[in-house]
Structure 1
């Protein structure tokens, strides 16, 4: 078995180095720095001491630099006289700030910057729990490229990644529900019930791959073998031999067991990651939401809201099964499909002119058939190539649609009304069934369309991410001066970038969906579009990193930013600033209610997603949970005198 991407162990080291560099640069730049506390003291001294001056400003000229117009959002009931002598509330205009305080930035002290970053650094390390394992074929350059491409989608286009993860989870739920319908038809047969779960769990796992190499569709050979391998074991009567059903059932059972073993090996590690994240998330939430506006800065809340889509994405990827060992899965699927096709060819050989002549002459009868050509170490790559399943595209890591195979399969496979109007899978089977439904599924995949559920999920994902960003925008808009300034402007620009990159990514997905499956390869146009999409993702991620660095360093605490110069120069609003600390605002401005609402809604969205993901995992766990005592030591018993041998099981070797 090929291990998951082993270079993942370097990520914590690199992220730690990057964080230290950002903090060092942010906290050691003191050029033209001013201190709001000293600036306020200077203004009070200028006002009270006639002979004292700063920057040429004296008691006689001070009024020119004071702001005496109405202040947006100010609570005049609390401070009737904002220029009282006891503890004057000093508000100056933009020119006064530049002259008296200086035109530099009041950067945060190192401990303050570390406090801001440390509040969220532990929860955001949950990023390392994303499934970095990639199907790179053992080539280091391909491994690095696949991982960087996955990081580009995960962090650069959150709506795209959330859409893929949510749609895939939705398909898992659909498969779980379909398996329940099948088990109702044989409630007294535990082995049959387990086979239904096996079939749809295998479908869930193969649904995580994009299709044949160079295209976004599965080959007809792959689809026919898949339909035959999943549905033939579930039929009880019909044309064919009982040992044919037993052989396909045994292969399906072994395939599902192998996939469940891979899934079980990752469950403990996933649970540890989730539990550590929950603990860190609660810790950060208390710091950011419970104490903001008093002893900490409100921008901790704003920063957390900008990143809140990441824990939601990681949680969704954790509940989707089989996050590890994609290369092992690719090998198992190719061999399993090869063996399934060999069984079908043996029991239902293709009709040719020679076959018809032989049947007429009587040299071939229904009871004679060719021996099954099982996969072995002597099987050539050319023989198994038609059964390739392509690259891993699950967990929101790719610009390929994921989940469409299961969608097309569930749409085309037969479901008949049973007793009492309940749906059930029909027992009848014919040699043409696999070919018929494989053709329908292939046509569905090649049509270039997406189910309406995908569009609904895409819209919901965009709303989720945008809701968190816009809640952060509201906090920035109201603090410290009401208006569109540096903080809120940066957040708004990030929202626009997220919306744009999501549209570009979905457009590229649409291109691969609608044309590459017909062309057979993506070509230079597809390569160029994919490159443009990743470039836009990197720009969006880079801007988010810049915002994080600016908030942590306090580089936006300048006269122009604090006085909302952007709004003042364009709309005539703003143009003033005070020199108070953040604890002054809840009691003296009408912002406390807005902050509470932002904190509540900002925390409620991920909590709802966590709860929904946990509920979905609980409802779907029957797929990857194998009933004890059903298979026995020999697996599903074979009828008709069929004997298991080493040739049949050779495909399981590493």
Structure 2
């Protein structure tokens, strides 16, 4: 870390103490010599230069009214192009390579470090070479899409991350809710609630499938069957009910252990990238306000840092909203776990079934009966139609399980509904849109226990009533908290961009120029995507909505990329950009602009620098507090202080002995 800081500081200092004569300084000397009659420029001399209109005598924005206007030499944009020949960019690496290196080390390297720690997907490495190659290209495309969403629409990405964290907070509150004496006979201990809500948090980061009925039917039973009491007193001593409860409890605990084990680690080391950004910010502030080293280039460099200040915020909260090491492996386990949950539910409600139809790897290997496919083609989805929608591991398992269901004569379970399989991982702003499965479920079961919870997970009509926002025509209707966090995300990004515009536009020539204009264009493009994601038709992510959304994100990302390139290349160092929309320019240095009797721009630079850093520092502290507060949700039972670990081995509320019940089939963990 110390070496990185030393690298940043040394190059920044190097860029200030070495370099060639500035092209605009040469232009100033040339114009002054024309005015005093010692030089000419073709037909232009000290007498004809006024006739050409190259000298600007109009008002100058931002200058002290008491300053004598004739003492400030200003020329028009056309005069700069004609007299100085600065139509082509004055690249830094041509005139002063150390300046390019100083900006790269100060900002580009910290930004690359931040981009490197964003939550990209990881492969479990279990595919064959051919499959792995295809998956690699697919992964590159997915990562490109994620980067477009993160960089091209930070407002919507922050909205998704903030709302995911809000859903995690709701789950933690629900898991820690104390149990009353009346509920004690209906609910298990807190560790089961914590497991259920943590699993729900993880599943909530996957795309909601097409058949919401089927998905919720399996999910609710698998999550909350261990936490509820069957309706009717005759079930209190029913061995079948107690066995189903024991099986679902064992499956839930195993699933929670798997998700905690696969959760991305290394939260605290990632903070090094954030610290490096803070160091770069501090160095830029020091350079911009230094009387010896500061100039308009260092000020524009600081403005660029303020512009991109939302990136460490996105990384900070994406660290908190961690994704699994292998999203597809976790998705496969979710599919197997919900398969077994539906199997236990079918077994519990069908007294003629001897054993549940557990998931088993051996079922994949059974040949598919052509006669069965011909008789019931809907039960056997066409691989060609679904190959792009689901990973190969789930394709193999679903086809194998359906074949087994069709061929088995011992069970009466219906064939698998293809559309109830969870979709791809979309957590941490990977896709634009509202994803509130966790919020809806927590809100529906928050005040339910015992028989009410039993009715909810077994009565489909009641399920549709409780989760109406997950069904048409109210599909994907966000709650008030989502709207609030969405507005906060918008204001946060626009505030940082606004501070960058303030700093850049107050560097004379005062007014909107190429740099501040790029910042404004980036703000408009990203805000356009944010506005679109508020509409229900866009949140459903149809094909043309996706194309249009990705198009806006691509334009915004290209704008940000060009802005980054311009910050260290000098491509905007020309007459057009120096004059901006004002149409004129001067040749003074930063020291002249800082003096109160001239422009006194320092006060505006300080305001932009301090206000731009405030949200980053404040939210950094909030993220640290949230990590400590939400940590019990993903901790092991032995590490969680508010779990009664001494009672971990006690029997459940039914009074039955666990050793009398055969354990659930755990082949699904292979």
Q: Same fold (TM over 0.5)?
A: yes
Q: Which runs of 5+ in 1 are unaligned?
A: 1-29, 84-88, 350-363, 417-424, 515-521, 567-573
2:103 to 111, 116, 128: 116
Q: Which runs of 5+ in 2 are unaligned?
A: 1-19, 125-130, 236-240, 364-399, 403-414
Q: Counterpart of 2:27?
A: 39
Q: Secondary structure at the match of 1:378?
A: helix
Quickly say closer, same or farther: Cα 1:82–1:147, change in 2 above 3 A: same
Q: Secondary structure at the match of 2:637?
A: coil
1:248 aligns with 2:272: no
- Summarize deviations over 1:233-273 as a string: whole Å, max 9, x none: 1236754433332222221111111111111xx222x4322
Q: Counterpart of 1:493?
A: 521
1:398 aligns with 2:394: no
Aligned-residue offset at 1:615 = 2.2
Asked if 1 retains the 8 angstrom alpha-carbon contact of 2:119 and 2:323, the reply is no
Q: Counterpart of 1:318?
A: 319
- In the TM superposition, 1:139-288 aligns within 5 A as 139-140=134-135, 141-182=137-178, 192-212=189-209, 215=210, 219-235=212-228, 239=232, 240=235, 241-263=241-263, 266-268=264-266, 270-274=267-271, 276-288=272-284
Q: Counterpart of 2:583?
A: 575
Aligned-residue offset at 1:513 = 4.9
Aligned-residue offset at 1:309 = 1.7
2:613 to 567, 580, 603: 603
Quickly say closer, same or farther: Cα 1:143–1:232, change in 2 above 3 A: same
Count of equivalent residues? 561
- Summarize deviations over 1:189-240 as a string: whole Å, max 9, x none: 997111111111011000000122xx3xx53232122212222212367544
What's the TM-score once normalised by structure 2's chain length? Answer: 0.76
Q: Distance in 2 between matches of 1:372 and 1:330?
A: 22
- Summarize deviations over 1:311-359 as a string: whole Å, max 9, x none: 111111110133421111111111111112222222223xxxxxxxxxx
- Summarize deviations over 1:627-651 as a string: whole Å, max 9, x none: 2196799977674455676861111
Asked if 1 retains the 8 angstrom alpha-carbon contact of 2:119 and 2:322, the reply is no
Q: Distance in 1 between matches of 2:122 and 2:669?
A: 21
Asked if 1 retains the 8 angstrom alpha-carbon contact of 2:157 and 2:429, the reply is yes
2:532 to 483, 498, 504: 504
1:561 aligns with 2:577: yes
Aligned-residue offset at 1:135 = 8.7
Asked if 2 retains the 8 angstrom alpha-carbon contact of 1:134 and 1:146, the reply is no
Q: Counterpart of 1:130?
A: 118
Q: Distance in 2 between matches of 1:610 and 1:171?
A: 20
- In the TM superposition, 1:357-368 aligns within 5 A as none
Q: Distance in 2 between matches of 1:371 and 1:384?
A: 18
Asked if 1 retains the 8 angstrom alpha-carbon contact of 2:167 and 2:438, the reply is yes
1:648 aligns with 2:670: no
Q: Secondary structure at the match of 2:283?
A: helix
2:560 to 518, 540, 544: 544
- In the TM superposition, 1:4-19 aligns within 5 A as none
What's the TM-score once normalised by structure 1's chain length? Answer: 0.78
Q: Counterpart of 1:435?
A: 459
Asked if 1 retains the 8 angstrom alpha-carbon contact of 2:156 and 2:530, the reply is yes
Q: Secondary structure at the match of 1:577?
A: strand
Q: Distance in 1 between matches of 2:289 and 2:262?
A: 47
Aligned-residue offset at 1:173 = 1.0
Quickly say closer, same or farther: Cα 1:333–1:438, change in 2 above 3 A: farther
Asked if 2 retains the 8 angstrom alpha-carbon contact of 1:134 and 1:147, the reply is no
